[in-house]
């Protein structure tokens, strides 16, 4: 703090929503800026209720946090209004006037393109909407009358906040290995860069204004759709190990693989990670579920965390031990 970028280390589903929601409460965030688009959901468990959010930032659980959607984001207007009502954040959420809009035609184009090219998609129109923005023919948030009460200059607001020492979190979506430019397995990637630098760029925050890059790992790796997944195990084996998951946003099966230390090191280096979080430690070490103190972890869990730190060179400062926002071991000073 005061400015932290959250980036996923693998192919998404690392538990960024959990980490962001914890930081919103623990650090009493002033601003949380969501980048990306609706093709990724962040899951937040709070007070026994599950939220799968495609537009509203995961920091919504702190009623004092100003919620912003970045200038570089793509907005699905219907989803935005549905989630604003669900989370009751009217009056403290805004969209940058230059964010681009996903239209119905983009969803149809997205689905047709996926069939023709054999590349998996959520069908939410994100790729075609990005194409239109690149061609400079896209509608922007300022062009949509019903969004007028929610418009803001997100870039100005956040930079002014940083000038006065406010705590800002930049919320990345998807995982780094899905980056259009730097990910693995092109063309089985997403339509944008998902790295820490791009997250800051979408929010209009210069690199020298970022204090920390917090990379989020999960204790095992998952991805949805087609494309490479080194070390992939079968669905049956994933179910046996307790690793089988369904995507929060689409309901698609997540493919699974063991934690990849070499990949973890690579993604930490490229993103310039200064800190790391690891979630679902309880999935591979069930006895650690719900722990809130590091010494309550098993020796095996501690050895695993130390191996991640040793091989990546990045300190693990947050350890998720369960789904709830506050089921975290916080090792920060």
Whether 260 is catalytic is: no
Q: Taking the CA atoms of 264, 265, 266 and 268 in sequence, report the sign of the dihedral they define.
A: positive
Catalytic residue, chosen from 42, 54, 96, 282, is 42
Whether 42 is catalytic is: yes
Judge whether 70 and 59 are in contact, CB under 8 Å: no
Q: Is 241 helix (H, G, I), strand (E, B) or coil?
A: helix
**Cis amide prior to 200 (ω within 30 degrees):** no
Taking CB atoms within 8 Å and a gap of at least 24, the contacts of 181-189 are: 182/270, 184/227, 184/228, 185/227, 185/228, 187/117, 187/119, 188/119, 188/120, 188/225, 188/226, 188/227, 188/228, 189/227
Beta bridge partners, 7, equal 215
Among 277, 309, 278, 292, residue whose Cα is nearest residue 4: 277
| Tokens 């623990």, residue located | 26
Q: How far apart are CA 255 and CA 78, in angstroms?
A: 30
Catalytic annotation, residues: 13, 42
């Amino acid at each position: 703090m005061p400015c932290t970028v959250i980036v996923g280390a693998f192919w998404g589903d690392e538990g960024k929503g959990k980490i962001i929601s914890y930081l919103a409460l623990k650090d009493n965030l002033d601003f949380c800026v969501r980048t990306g688009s609706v093709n990724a959901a962040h899951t937040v468990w709070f007070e026994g209720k599950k939220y799968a959010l495609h537009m509203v930032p995961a920091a919504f659980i702190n009623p004092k946090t100003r919620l912003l959607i970045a200038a570089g984001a793509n907005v699905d207007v219907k989803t935005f209004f549905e989630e604003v009502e669900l989370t009751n954040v009217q009056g403290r959420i805004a969209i940058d006037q230059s964010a681009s809009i996903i239209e119905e035609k983009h969803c149809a184009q997205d689905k047709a393109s996926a069939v023709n090219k054999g590349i998996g998609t959520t069908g939410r129109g994100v790729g075609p909407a990005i194409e239109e923005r690149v061609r400079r023919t896209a509608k922007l948030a300022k062009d949509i009358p019903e969004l007028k009460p929610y418009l803001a200059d997100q870039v100005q607001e956040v930079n002014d906040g940083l000038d006065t020492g406010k705590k800002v979190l930049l919320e990345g979506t998807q995982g780094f290995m899905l980056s259009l430019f730097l990910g693995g397995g092109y063309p089985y990637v997403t339509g944008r860069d998902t790295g820490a630098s791009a997250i800051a760029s979408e929010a209009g925050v210069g690199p020298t204004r970022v204090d920390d890059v917090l990379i989020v790992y999960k204790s095992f790796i998952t991805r949805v759709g087609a494309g490479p997944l080194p070390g992939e195990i079968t669905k049956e084996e994933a179910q046996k190990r307790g690793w089988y998951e369904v995507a929060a946003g689409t309901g698609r099966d997540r493919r699974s693989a063991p934690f990849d230390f070499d990949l973890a090191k690579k993604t930490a280096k490229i993103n310039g990670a200064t800190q790391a979080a690891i979630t679902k430690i309880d999935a591979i070490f069930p006895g650690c579920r719900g722990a809130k103190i590091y010494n309550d972890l098993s020796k095996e869990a501690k050895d695993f965390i130390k191996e991640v730190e040793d091989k990546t060179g990045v300190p693990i400062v947050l350890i998720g031990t369960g789904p709830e926002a506050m089921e975290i071991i916080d090792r920060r000073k």
